[in-house]
Structure 1
Amino acid sequence: MELQLCDVWRRLLRRDDVGIHDDFFSLGGHSLLAIKLTVEVRRLFQVDLTAADLLSAATVAELAEIVRRGTADRKGQLVRIQQGAGGSPVYALPPVSGTVLLYPPIARAMGLDQPFWAVQSVGLLPGEEPLSSLEDISECFIEQLRTVHPEGAEWNLIGYSMGGLLAYETARRLTERGERVGLVGLLDTRITVEPSGDPDFALRALLWRGLKLNLDVDWLRGLTPDTRAQVLVERAVAAGTMPADFDADRLRRMVDMYQFNLDALAAYRIQPYDGTVTVFRVTDRSLEGDSLPDDLGWSEFAARAAVCDVPGDHFTMVEPGQVEVLGRRLREQLNLASTGAPAS
């Protein structure tokens, strides 16, 4: 089984030097290849894995154990991205897509010794009912994170975009309960998300950011949901942004997840936090339609809001070439928070 999995990795990663203890993402794996890998595992072994399973078992040896059992030992929405070498872990909360596939490069850039977990949104897997409010989402995440949080350790929470609001709300709730919170890292997160006047915002976001497709949204809107999903799958497969046997049901859940999270964001009313937040602010602000304060307004609600500049714009800050700097800055701020020094 390990030999077969190594062969799959060699083909997907276009490498000859794959060992059973190599990390998929360290060898150049990314979110699309992760999806393709789950498809190959299903084809070869008739075992249906999620991308979250792959993040939890990122080596051939670990993945082979899951395949032998026939299913993963899942901890709800929790995904261990990096085991690290001990110490206080970092917990990453999901952006509006609900997925956590953007976090492995950030974790690696922070250092392989850093324990790192992420939580994906409820509703991405079959049979799951999405949560309707950001407060309920935060409570659900706290309950799950407690199952892996080391006793007595401080809580370090980060989040990209919407994930930053989840990190803030989670930190606020933990502090109210007398728990120690260290780093609260907000990765270019605004304090509010205005309700979109565009009823197709979720569909457009998935089309352009996820599937890289330029299709007529008015035409898509006129299709039935089943036909629309099938068309999108066919076009994405042809464009190379989706594996050949990705199913339409999974695509519908992805679109729905965007909309559920956007609705939860629009209804959220931010409350004061008696602590420090660190805003990782992009230096390229050309995508911003209006002039925003350096701290994106967080000093209005947090006792202290520190600003840490990182290269790129809102989207490229987490991509290769920029994410390495983001990871280093996160590690620096994490170290400052652990010593009680003021964030810089």
Structure 2
Amino acid sequence: MALDREEIMQIVSEIWEDLLDTDVEEDDDFFDLGGYSLLIVNVVTEARKRGLEMSANDIYTHKTPAALADALSAPAAGAPADGPADPDFSTVWETGLSPLRTEPSPTLVPLVAEGTGTPVFCFHWGTGNVRFLADLVDSFRGERPAYGLEMVGMWSRERPALSLVEMASRYLRDIRAVQPEGPYLFVGPCAGGRIAYEIARQLEESGEQVAVLAVVNTMPPGSTELDAAWGLRELYDFRLASLRERFEVPDLLTDQERLMRGMVDIAWLDENVDPADLHWRQAVWAAGIFAQEHYEPRPYGGEVTVFQLAEHADRPEADWGRVAATTETHTFESAGTLPLLRDAGFAQVLAKKLASYAG
């Protein structure tokens, strides 16, 4: 039986009150109450548990309980199609190419090719790009060369793997083309920390050694921030909705130059990305997050050097000791991954850690 407007408003208000720990009136704005993008995932999950079908975009578009109730209780038949003009996930994904139909694209990018000693390998974060680190690696690499691993699909239409283990195996082959044997030096910011962890685990399994495995604002594998039941379409829709909200555009096609410049400024997008690839990049993001969220880790017998935000320090799910034999943890008061990467104190500690390996 379909829920009526009052029932929908009651469900939404109760969920918001529980998650935001505040009283909610029917005309209260979700974001004004302290809501944020990742919390929307919890709202959608809880609503579905109570029989209310909604999407992340519904909350971004209709920001109050009353507006949500009006939208979700309105008859679907004959409703005007006044939503965002962005192409749907299937349309974008179909422009991609199976690995059976295209040559594998390289994932290894020289960040600083010159140098001496064992190279430092840095891994892409959630948006799949890594080239922005070229401006940051000098603060910690010493005299070593530095390379980045970027996600498949960044500069081609090759579809990326939907498995983090498969993704890591692909990157490891490219790493070995530069450095056939260990010990290795890895730095993984944000989502890249889990990739670095899985590669280190695979190397350990084959008898190789990782001298430094540094993760930067990375939650340990096995913890999740999104709904595991979400598929690629829902992740893609969530991504587009969050971008529309952040950059205050009705869709990614409107004021696209400003939107893309804004994404470059916060390192979510590389310079010189073809505007025609903007939605494809978001589909690649969805694939990467899907792989992250469904990764089932195995234990690692080596050490993980953890650079964490102070706001996460007391969270039990942030404990890397659950998956690694040894951890060395450093805590910083930073506003996010990029500010942490730019923090002089962080760079000093990481540089010292990398320099401790004499190779």
Q: Same fold (TM over 0.5)?
A: yes
Q: Structure 1 residue aligned with 2:159, among 126, 129, 148?
A: 129
- The farther-off stretch of 176-185 and 108-117 is 108-117
SS in 2 for 1:270: coil
Deviation, 1:238, is: 8.8
The residue aligned with 1:169 is 198
Counting matched residue pairs gives 244
1:64-87 C-alpha deviation (Å, 9 max, x unpaired): xxxxxxxxxx98111111124211
Greater RCO (CA < 8 Å, at least 6 residues apart)? 2
2:147 partner SS: strand
Alpha carbons of structure 1 residues 179 and 332: separation in structure 2 relative to 1, 3 Å: same
- Maintained 8 Å contact 1:310/1:317: no
| 207 and 110 in structure 1: CA distance in 2 versus 1, 3 angstrom threshold | farther
Which one of 147, 152, 172 corresponds to residue 117 of structure 1?
147
1:302-344 deviations in whole A, cap 9, x for unaligned? 0111102334132343464x2x3322211111223x269xxxx
Listed as ranges, the matches of 1:133-282 within 5 Å are 133-149=163-179, 151-191=180-220, 192-196=223-227, 199=235, 200-204=237-241, 206-207=243-244, 213-215=247-249, 220=251, 229-231=252-254, 233-236=256-259, 247-282=274-309
Secondary structure of 1:307's counterpart equals strand
- CA distance in 2 between partners of 1:244 and 1:159 (Å): 21
Instruction: Tell me the distance in 1 between the aligned counterparts of 2:260 and 2:351.
Output: 38
The question of whether the paired residues in 1 share the 8 Å contact of 2:332 and 2:340 is answered with no
Cα separation, partners in 2 of 1:316 and 1:157, compared to 1, 3 Å: closer
* Residue-by-residue CA offset, 1:12-47 (whole Å, 9 max, x unaligned): xxxxxxxxxxxxxxxxxxxxxxxxxxxxxxxxxxxx
2:178 counterpart SS class: coil
Alpha carbons 1:282, 1:317 under 8 Å: kept: no
Find the residue that maps to 1:95 and give its secondary structure: coil
Alignment of 1:314 onto 2:336 = yes
CA distance in 1: counterparts of 2:271 and 2:354, whole angstroms: 41
Report which stretch shifted further, 270-279 or 199-208.
199-208
Alpha carbons of structure 1 residues 207 and 108: separation in structure 2 relative to 1, 3 Å: farther
Q: Quick one: structure 1 residues 140 and 281, their matched pair in 2 at CA, closer, same or farther if it must change by over 3 Å?
A: same
- Equivalent of 2:324, from 302, 305, 314? 302
Structure 1 residues 258, 108: closer, same or farther in 2, change over 3 A? Answer: same
**Distance in 2 of aligned mates of 1:258 and 1:236:** 17
Larger radius of gyration: 2
Q: How far apart in 1 are the matches of 2:263 and 2:176?
A: 39
Please give the TM-score of this superposition, normalised by the length of structure 1: 0.63
Please give the secondary structure, in 2, of the residue aligned with 1:147: helix
Amino acid corresponding to residue 293 of structure 2 in structure 1: A
Q: Aligned with 2:254: secondary structure?
A: helix
Kindly provide the CA deviation profile for residues 138-162 of structure 1, in whole angstroms up to 9, marking residues without a partner as x: 000001111111x544111111111
1:244 to partner: Cα distance: 12
- Cα deviation, 1:248-286, whole Å, max 9, x if unaligned, reads 421012211211111111111111001100101123x2x
Rounded to whole Å, the distance in 2 between the matches of 1:77 and 1:83 is 15
> Do the aligned residues in 2 keep the contact of 1:107 with 1:114 (CA within 8 Å)?
no
Q: Deviations over 1:100-157 (max 9, x none)?
A: 03312331111452211001000122331111110010000001111111x5441111
Measure the CA separation in 1 of the matches of 2:224 and 2:198.
15
Contact 2:189 2:337 in 1 (8 A): no
Distance 1:129 1:274, change over 3 A: same
Structure 1 pair 146–246 and aligned structure 2 pair: CA distance change class (3 A): closer
| Overall identity of the aligned pairs, in % | 23
RMSD: 3.1
Distance 2:135 2:240 in 1: 26
Q: Secondary structure at the match of 1:96?
A: coil
Paired residue type of 2:306 = V
TM-score, normalized by length of structure 2?
A: 0.60
